[in-house]
Amino acid sequence: MVERRTKQRFPIQLDLLYRVYQGRRVAKLEAGRSIDISSTGIVFRSDQDVATGTRVEVSTSWPALLHGTCALRWVVFGSVVRSQGGVTACSIDRYEFKTQGRSVPSPAGYAAMVTASRDPNPIAAFAARA
């Protein structure tokens, strides 16, 4: 395989959630685990391959606390550049850090919530209830 990345990669493994978009609608919400991260992209394990060019939102609990006390969530917006054999690479077009509540459901908890929900934006619906 030809190395396509030009930026330094950091082998950071974190549990994550990713949303796959079809137009403006969230088509699915899945859990995964990061393999490595650079300043321009993230590679993660996924249960299913995602079509190249698909818009995605990837989020994970950031391992450092803001001011040593406040938990953060890192949210990445980008597009899938390749996906094969359960490994997906996406660009980082933009990102943001968000403060998160004291208790954040695990990826399995989110998956259960999504399965039970008929809401097209289940995370927002969950956050509104919290």
The 10s digit of each residue's pLDDT in 15-50 is 999 999 999 999 999 999 999 999 999 999 998 999
All domains in the chain, ordered by first residue: 15-106+117-129 (2.30.110)
- At 49-89, the pLDDT tens digits run 999 999 999 999 998 888 888 999 999 999 999 999 999 99
Pair 20, 30: CB distance under 8 Å? yes
Round to whole Å and give the CA distance between 62 and 49.
25
Query: If you ran DSSP here, which 8-state letter would residue 9 be given?
Result: P
92: nearest Cα among 105, 106, 79: 79
- 3-state SS of 51-97 is CCCCEEEEEEECCCCECCCECEEEEEEEEEEEEECCEEEEECCEEEE
> pTM value?
0.72
